[in-house]
Amino acid sequence: MAVDRNASGPASPPKGSGALDFTHGSALRRDSHSGAPAPAHPRDRWALAGGFAALFAASWAWLIYQHWAMRHMDIVEMAMPSTGLWSAEDVLLIFVMWTIMMVAMMLPSALPMLLIYRRVVASRGANALPGTFTVVLAAGYLSTWALFSIIATLAQWVLHTAALISPMMVVSPTPLGGVLLIAAGIYQWTSLKHACLARCRSPLTFLTTHWRGGARGAFVIGVRHGFYCTGCCWLLMAILFVVGVMNIAWIVVLTTLVIAEKVLPKGEWIARAAGIAIIVWGGYLLAR
């Protein structure tokens, strides 16, 4: 973010310092050149909201259709990976599936960050591009989940090659699922999980310490926030291997849990309580 040369008071942090300037009380301040409130950009705001709503709706519509089609393959054709050795097309298909699923599951929990970022950029004056920069930040955020999707695709490929996952995308034998659940439950209590969760729960604090100006800066902020979010939730996403990668009911449950951890009061304890439940579930599968 550019330094305000016309404002009085202490100098702002130098460009590239990674800190957002709050020395004048708040980044959400009046336009320093005119003394008038920063423009509201109402058309920009509605276009941005409509774009995110369309992306959210399209990704969930695709997931719901895929879930239905997997259970009605006698009446509808559906692209499915081969039951034999995978081709490049099979790998690409699974990658697309994971990427759309991550957009549907993780974009809602990023909305507080996106809204606060847009408001900060809009406050910078008439030449600000809040909608454009917010889209760039979202692209950076989702790019980290696209990277996670590559890793998840490779993991599924390995499981498929080793005959450890069914055509319905559920790991087998059952004890393997139990081990995965116990690992996910334990991770809910680790310091790494909670260090990442703390940054996801405090988007304004995150922006204060990781600020970069311009479109490139927006993308970098999005990538950094996405890495913290991935560090917070990656093993929760791995639970899908146990319940079925395209199990829409569990996709809803995990999405709700992620939002609850990041948004609700005492989200840290929600994460820990979920961890206990997941460990118990994993123990039950091992004991069967």
Q: In whole angstroms, what is the distance from residue 189 CA to residue 277 CA?
A: 12
Q: In whole angstroms, what is the distance from residue 40 CA to residue 42 CA?
A: 5
CB 160, CB 85: distance < 8 Å: no
Q: In whole angstroms, what is the distance from residue 15 CA to residue 10 CA?
A: 15
Given this model, what pLDDT does residue 33 score?
A: 40
169 exposure class (CB count in 10 Å sphere: 0-12, 13-18, 19+): buried
Residue type, 54: A
Given this model, what pLDDT does residue 172 score?
A: 86
Q: DSSP labels for 96-164? A: HHHHHHHHHHHHHHHHHHHHHHHHHHHTT-TT--HHHHHHHHHHHHHHHHHHHHHHHHHHHHHHHHTT-
Given this model, what pLDDT does residue 14 score?
A: 41
Residue type, 148: F
Tokens of 267: 């989200």
Given this model, what pLDDT does residue 66 score?
A: 86
Averages of pLDDT over runs of 10 residues in the chain (288 residues) are 41 46 43 42 74 92 87 72 87 95 94 91 73 93 97 95 89 91 97 95 92 91 96 95 93 96 94 97 93
Given this model, what pLDDT does residue 41 score?
A: 57
C-alpha atoms less than 13 angstroms from C-alpha of 71 in its C-beta half-sphere: 9
With both helix axes pointing from N to C terminus, report the angle between 214-238 and 88-122 in degrees, rounded to the nearest 10.
130
Q: Name the 3-class secondary structure at 10.
A: coil
